[in-house]
Structures are given as C-alpha cells and as structure tokens.
Structure 1
Amino acid sequence: MTTVVTTTTAVARHRRSIFLGIDVGTGSARAGLFDEAGKLLGSASSPIQIWKEGDCVEQSSTDIWLAICTAVKRALSLSDVAGEEVTGIGFAATCSLVAVDSEGQPVTVSWSGDTRRNVIVWMDHRAVKQAERINSCNSPVLQYCGGSISPEMQPPKLLWVKENLQESWSMAWRWMDLSDWLSYRATGDDTRSMCTTVCKWTYLGHAHMQHIDENNSRDMEANGWDDDFWEEIGLGDLVDGHHSKIGRSVAFPGHALGSGLTPDAAKELGLVAGTPVGTSLIDAHAGGVGVMESVPDSEANESDDDAICRRMVLVCGTSTCHMAVSRSKLFIPGVWGPFWSAMVPEYWLTEGGQSATGALLDYIVDNHGASAHLANRAASKNISLFQMLNDLLANMMSDRGIPFIAALTSDLHVLPDFHGNRSPIADPNAKGIICGLNLDTSENQLALQYFATVQGLAYGTRHIIEHCNEHGHKVSVLLVLICVSLYLADFF
C-alpha cells in the first residue's frame, strides 16, 4: 500500500512596513504613504467643503472624514499598497474647533443651525470681541500667548458659542481641535495632543511636565489647565468633570492611542483594525518639526547642538507660520508662545505668523480683471498661472532694462494685513492697503500687483524675524516649506 502525501507550500508575500500620513488643510484632505526610509510611495487628495459668511468660516467634520477616507483609499490604490501593510498612522490638521455631542455626532456652531457645520475653521474671526474681553483680564496665562490671545485660538471661539448659541453649548459633549478629533474618530480615544492644547487652548505644557517629573509618573492626566483662567473668562463650566469637555488626558505627539484603529474606522479607511495611531499635531507644526530637524547644507559640517535654535521654519499655505525654538523660554510681545514641547520635544516654541498669505495671493490674482484671460492663456500653454505671472515679470525686467526685479514696484506697495496682523502687531482688526494704483487693468499690472504682494509678505516675515531676534532669538537660517500650488521664480 502506497501512501501519497501532498505538501502545499505557501509563498508568503513579503510584508512591508508602510506608514500613513493624513494631513487636513483648509481646502483638502491629503493622504501619503511612506516606507521605512521615508520615501513617498504614493499620495492622493480630496477637496473639503467650506462655508464663508463674513467673519464666520465653517466646515463639517463628517465631510472632512469622508474626504480622508476617499484620499486614503485612492493613495493605497495608486501606490499598490495593501491595507494590512500599513503599520502606523499619523494625523495632522488645521487648528480648527470641532463640536460633538455625547454620541460623537456633530453639534452646529453656525448661525444657520445647519448641523453639518460643526467646525469653526482656524481663520474664523467671529470672536474678536471675546478675545478683547479675555485679554482685558490680564491672566498670567496670557504671557504664554505673546501677551494677548488671538480670535484664532480656541477660548474666544468657545466663549462666542456660549454667548450666542446656547442650545449648541448645552448639547456639546466634547470640544476638540480638529487633529485631536480625527484621532478620536479613528480610535475612540479622546486623549488630546500636547501640540494642540498648548498652542491653541492655553494648556501649560511646562506645568504638565513638572507634574510628571515630581510624581515620577508617565500618567497622561491633564495637569496643565489653569482653572482660574477659565473661571475668570466665563468658561468655568469647562473645568467640570476633570476638564472632560476640553481634555482629561494629554499626550505628547506620536504617543499610541487606545487600541489603534477601531473596526468601523478601519473598514471606512480600507485598513486593518488595531493599526497603531499616534497622537496628532497641528498641520503647520507637523511640517515644522520635520523641516526643523533636517540639516540644511549650510550646517552639514557643524556639530553644534544649538544649531537648531538658529533656524526658523516658514510653513506656507493659506497662512504662514513662523516657527523657532529655544532652550530657554522667551517672552516676545505679539508672538505666540513660548510653548513647552509643543513641536520639538523639550524645546520652547515661538510661533509667529501671517494670517493670510496664500489666501491673499489668491485674492489679489482672482479679483483682478485680467485674471481670467491670463488663466486661459496659462492653460493653453499647460503651465500654471503663477508661472505666467513670473514670466511677465521677467519680460518687464528685460524690456525696461532694470538690474533687479524690486525696481518694478518702486511706486506700488502692499500692506498685507487683509485678515488682520497675527505677528508681531497682534491686531486682528488691522487692514490691508494697496498703494500706488492707477487705471491700468492689463496683465502686466496684475503681475506687478502680485509681485508687490509677495514683497509685502516678505517684509512682514522680516519684521517677525527681527522682532524675535530683538527678544532673544538668534535666527540666521530660514527653512521654507511651501504647501500651496505656488511657483516662485529664481529671482524671488
């Protein structure tokens, strides 16, 4: 009798470790897949709906999550990555404010009552009066906001909702920064990020760290809230329940949350339940830490541990954030911070900024009479509108025989505070100016207005740098991360 034994050999596919980064900006959600060496394997984006009515700018967390799911699935497909290969996920998002009820459902923050609109976008300026009242209290917490709180931060927005939308205020169970809400939506863990709470909620990171050191503990209990501040500004009810509505626990960025992706979130994203999810960062700060920790060519041969303190990172998108770090805390009037460990671990962060940069360039270009015709010409040449503008400037330089481009705008100037001045004047009521206009509506004149706006933004950046250096920083290296579809020619 012969026994035949059949052996089946399974050839296992080599399992890669792929990391998924999800970035939610003002206008779109982006997903990128990276290997262990940091190589980008594929990416995709999906647009986000936005409602703008006067000073009110709103979005929908439901719409944002759907955009993320679309972008992630598309990125997986384009990069030929299987969901089970993704071994870690990180979220970054704008510092917008999200309201949800006890079931995690949206709570409206809109005058319209539309329940979809449960996100107050970072650039929303409805709470200017509330910010002014908060600043009048002179709380010691404010010294960690550059001396005054901005209407772009969360306390003024929360106060506005309490004073104007009482039903929403009573329904809201959790108030969260958008990136924290995303990690909560993915994992069910409502732990907040040190980055979001310190930079936008007045959480004191150094007090949190002091508690951990004194108790020799890794406990994430939120010990950095100043209860007196919340009581004084009229939001004492947020202190109740161990700060349950604004954050009972706070973790450093990258800390693994809960048990990873929930089964529902995994199904929606095309991933595997239990995949680790790290504590989030604000989008600009995620870009900042990546660029700040890089080594520019000018420092390639240096071994100076303090070299990082001579750098300033500009993260440019709809707005621009100017990030610098220091070993000691530097109090700089009109500039946000100092924030302990909010971006680079164990360094104090100084955060300057311009509230409208990419948005301002879009505004200047889109509202000029020659814009539509120039855009059509650019499309016919298969180049960007901005490249067309730069080409026009180069041609004007040549035709006029001038040695440097700045001479083109010797009689045209732009003060770029069209959405207030975030730093270093810290005046949300500031206004923009265009000086030197005439009746010319040509494409050349559009190019000159565009360039004068770029110059105005550059002067604003110089103002921020000089102001920071006057108050203790030693910035000598600028590292720029441009996150908008903006083409800048070499002569810039």
Structure 2
Amino acid sequence: MDHRAVNQAERINACNSPVLQYCGGGVSPEMQAPKLLWVKENLQESWSMVCRWMDLSDWLAYRATGDDTRSLCTTVCKWTYLGHAHMEQWQESDSRDMEACGWDNVFWEEIGLGDLVEGNCAKIGRSVAFPGHPLGSGLTAAAAKELGLLPGTPVGTSLIDAHAGGVGVMESIPDEQFKADLPDEEAICHRMVLVCGTSTCHMAISKNKLFVPGVWGPFWSAMVPEFWLTEGGQSATGALLDYITENHVAAPLLSNRASSQSISIYELLNKMLLSMSHEQNSPFLSALTQDIHVLPDFHGNRSPMADPKSKGVIYGLTLDTSEKHLALMYLATIQGIAYGTRHIVEHCNAHGHKIDTLLACGGLAKNSVYIQEHADIIGCQIVLPRENEPVLLGAAVLGAVAGKKFPGVRDAMKALNAAGKVVNPSSDPRVKKYHDAKYQIFRSLYEQQLSHRSTMVQALQ
C-alpha cells in the first residue's frame, strides 16, 4: 500500500521498456523498481550502504538457509524479471536452479538504477529458482536453533503471501461439481482466486500468455509452475471497510455492543442488515443501498484502470448519523468492492481469460455478506476452501515439495487442497437487474472523476 513512488513509476513507464508489457503495460508504484528509485533519490546514505535488496519472503529463506537464491514469484511479479527468458534456459538445461538470466540490464540502466546490475546482479539476485525448490542444505544450525527445528530441515524457495494463498486454494474444487467437464489443464484456467485481506489480489492462470492492459502480468511460473499468472488487485478492501466503519460517528457505540456479544463489529452489522431488510420489507438485502453508491478507490486503482491517482467516491450522503446509516455505508462499500472485482473479471475475460469460478480466502472470505454480495454481483459460484488458513497451506505446499514428499507443486496442491462451502449467486432475476444497474453507476463514477480531474488541471494552468 506504499504509494510514495508514484512519480518514479510515471518516469519509469515513460521509458517504454519492453519489460513493461509483462506488468500490465506499466509498473505500479507498489512494485520494487519505482520503490528502489525512490530510495536512491531520497535516502542516498542508506542506498550506498546496502549490499542486497530482497523481498521479505526471499529474505526469510536466505535468513533460514544462507542461500541467496531468489524466487521466480517475487522477482517476476515485483522486480520486472522476465520469467519466460528463464523458461528457455530451464527447458534447455532441465534444471530448476539456474543463474538469473531474466534481468534486462538495459532497463535498469535506463531508469537510473544501473548500479543494481553490477557484479552479475549481485544486489538483486544472481540465481532464481521455481517456488518449492530446495534451498542450500536446508536450515542452518543457527536458524534451526532459533526456530526450534532440526538443522537440515528442507526449506523451499518462497512465494509472496497472496500467491501462497493462490497455491493453497486453486485446487479446492469439489470433484463432482467442477472437474468432470474439462481436462484438468484447462479447468484450472477457468478459476480466479480472490485473496481478500487488507487489500485483495485476484489470481488467474493460463497456459498461453495473455496480455491484459492495466492488470499485472503475464508472469511465467510465478505462482503455479509452467502456467502464466495474471494478477489483478484492489489496493484497499479490508482497509477500506475498516476506514468507513471506524470513522462513522456511530462506530464506538456499535463496537461496544459487539464486544458485549463477543462478536466482531462486522458480524453485528451483518445481523443489523438482515433485520433492516425485514423491517423495511426490502425485496432483497442488497436493495437497501439503492441510494448509496461507492467507488472504492480510496487508495488508487490497482487494476484494471492502473490509476494510483484515482480517488474514492461516496454518492448519496445525508446528515444521518445513526447505526443503521453505518450499516448501509458498510453494505454499499462491500458492493463497491465487489463491482471492482467484477470489472477485473470482465476485463480479463475480454482479453482471453475464461473465468467462471471464483475461490476466496483471507479474512474477508469469512464474512458471509461480503462473499454473497460478490457472488451475486459477479454472477459466479464462489468456492471457499476447507482449510481456514490457506496462505499457510500454500507455504506448507512449498515445504512439502522441497522435502520431496511430492514431485511438484501441482501434485502437492491436488493432494492438500480441499473444498469447503460453495456459495451460489442469487437465482432471483431482480437481484441481477439491480446489480447490473448499480454496476453501470459504479463505472460512471470513475469516468466522471476523470472528467473532473481534467477540468481542474485546466483551471490551474
């Protein structure tokens, strides 16, 4: 969520390097190249002292094993490493532990970070491996002592946290419902994983590389080996619900009431919405928000507009400060987030994907209203995994592969993923008609914003 490097991202994108086509057409300020450029320009003393730049997950693996092999996941998804160049070397050598051949040195020099490619890219990774590749000789003696584990315990090359969630749920499909109609290699390409937390990541894979403007990727083998990853996202989802809720005047009273019932404020709000729907004789719960529309870009738009300058919009404010008004604001914000996910799904499908099933994990996936609204708005079944912490399960998959319990990540996923509840969209045609109308308003709010932004730019010239 760190957007300090917006200006650096704009300058990098202006160079039109070929690497940019593999991150949705341009780097995001949330990616490492603009962040590194920001550090170099603003913290020069720190910059000169650093011997390695690493993602957290690569750092943990290095700290545990002493092996500075980086992950295809981190380097491809956030550092502009070209995984398909890596693929060509891998196919020729049949080795999954190789020199890092996917860095574009010209790109780093063009953007003013040529010092990062010195010494065969020593500061950003000389070797890169598939997720789950066993690192070094396993846990070092020092790391084993700190962790209370045995020296030599296998450690696999890492995944970014959300991508571990993708590995932890993507095969969590009930056999009898979803797997019979399509070949396995094709069926998995019809799924999108929503990793729903502070922000939301949208993970879909394909056998062929699909370029989707404004959506990160295609990233080769960055999550599931030998598949291209498309990664959408919303920069603030759980964080936005917290913001909307906590800044409402009725929040302290509701928070106290929730605490007295030993439930979260969101569980209490869900109960209130059900009661309000009955009291107002609403045709369905979603209809409570017919006068409130939310564009959830309070922290920019990660995809598909790829506009970090986008702002949030709430249409339909009144002087109401009641608890019921907070419940309506909460529901309208959930809907705005779901319309954003619908926009991402439709945009991906318009550029070659065939997504028709969603799988959800993370904290927000445990919120029944949040998941039902997403199912109704997107029109897809949503499968929830049996495992309560699928990000941890994804990490366990990597350990199991590193420990040679399974021949590969896909094998481990199939063995360890399991489906839980399946949430279906409403069969009431009125619900679809309602959300189609609100979705059009949602789309118009951004278009109006662009027009207003242009008007103000002209006014200041």
Are residues 404 and 218 of structure 1, via their aligned partners in 2, closer, same or farther at CA, if it must alter by over 3 Å? closer
- What is residue 167 of structure 1 aligned with on the other side? 45
Equivalent in the alignment of 1:371: 251
Q: From 35, 41, 55, give the equivalent of 1:177.
A: 55
**Alignment partners' CA distance in 1, 2:38 and 2:90:** 34
Assess if the C-alpha contact under 8 Å between 1:315 and 1:321 holds in 2: yes
Query: What do the CA deviations read for 1:322-360 (whole angstroms, capped 9, x no partner)?
Result: 111111111110000000011111111100110000111
Q: How far apart are 1:485 and its partner, in Å?
A: 8.2
Aligned mates of 1:361, 1:447 — CA distance in 2? 11
CA contact (8 A) 1:131 1:150 kept: yes
Tell me the residue number matched to 2:123. 245
Alignment pair present for 1:282 and 2:189: no
Change (3 A) 1:401 1:340: same
> Residue type of the partner of 1:137?
C
Residue 299 (structure 1) aligns with: 178
The one-letter amino acid paired with 1:200 is K
Residue 232 in 1 paired to residue 95 in 2? no
* More strand, by proportion: 1
Give the root-mean-square deviation of aligned CA atoms: 1.4
Report how far residue 300 of structure 1 moved.
4.1
- Structure 1 residues 491 and 245 mapped into 2: Cα distance closer, same or farther (>3 Å)? closer
Percentage identity across aligned positions?
73
1:343 to 215, 220, 223: 223
Please say if 1:480 is aligned against 2:360: yes
TM-score with structure 1 setting the length: 0.73
Q: CA deviation at 1:476?
A: 0.7
> Deviations 1:82-119 (Å, cap 9, x if unpaired)?
xxxxxxxxxxxxxxxxxxxxxxxxxxxxxxxxxxxxxx
- AA aligned to 1:157 is K
Deviations 1:445-488 (A, max 9, x none): 00100000000000000000000011111111111113358522
The one-letter code of the counterpart of 1:179 is: S
Structure with higher helix content: 2
Match of 2:132 in 1: 254
Matches within 5 A, 1:27-426: 123-296=1-174, 298-305=177-184, 306-426=186-306
Residues 484 and 466 of structure 1, relative CA distance in 2, 3 Å threshold: closer
Do the aligned residues in 1 keep the contact of 2:135 with 2:155 (CA within 8 Å)? yes
CA distance in 2, matches of 1:445, 1:172: 51
State the SS of the aligned residue for 1:312.
strand
2:180 aligned partner, one-letter code = N
Q: Distance in 2 between matches of 1:332 and 1:491?
A: 27
C-alpha distance in 2, partners of 1:250/1:233? 23
SS in 2 for 1:176: coil
1:468 aligns with 2:348: yes
Q: Pick closer, same or farther for the CA change 1:486–1:441 going to 2, 3 Å.
A: farther
Alpha-carbon separation, structure 1, partners of 2:221 and 2:372 = 37
Aligned to 1:52: none
Encode CA deviations 1:121-154: one digit per residue, 9 max, x unaligned. xx11110000000000000100001001000000
The count of residues paired between Structure 1 and Structure 2 equals 370
Greater gyration radius? 1
- Letter matched to residue 447 of structure 1: A
Which is bigger in relative contact order (C-alpha 8 A, separation at least 6)? Answer: 2
Equivalent of 2:310, from 430, 443, 450?
A: 430
Mapped contact 1:316–1:482 kept (Cα < 8 A): yes
2:81 maps to a residue whose letter is Y
Moved more, 455-464 or 481-490: 481-490
Say which is worse superposed, 426-435 or 287-296, in terms of deviation: 287-296
Name the CA distance, whole Å, in 1 between partners of 2:135 and 2:372.
46
Over residues 2-46 of structure 1, what are the superposed CA-to-partner deviations in whole Å (9 max), with x where a residue is unaligned? xxxxxxxxxxxxxxxxxxxxxxxxxxxxxxxxxxxxxxxxxxxxx
Residue 361 and residue 184 in structure 1: after superposition, are their counterparts in 2 closer, same or farther (change >3 A)? same
TM-score norm. by structure 2 comes to 0.78
Looking at structure 2, the residues matched to 213 and 276 of structure 1 have their Cα atoms a distance apart, in angstroms, of 25
How far the C-alpha of 1:285 sits from its partner, in A, is 0.5
Note the C-alpha offset of 1:294: 2.6
Q: Which moved more, 1:373-382 or 1:208-217?
A: 208-217
Question: C-alpha separation between the residues in 2 aligned to 1:335 and 1:452?
Answer: 25
Cα shift readout 1:45-76 (whole Å, capped 9, x = no counterpart): xxxxxxxxxxxxxxxxxxxxxxxxxxxxxxxx
Q: Which blocks of at least 5 consecutive residues in structure 1 are unaligned?
A: 1-122
**Which deviates the most, 263-272 or 198-207?**
263-272
Corresponding position of 2:400: none
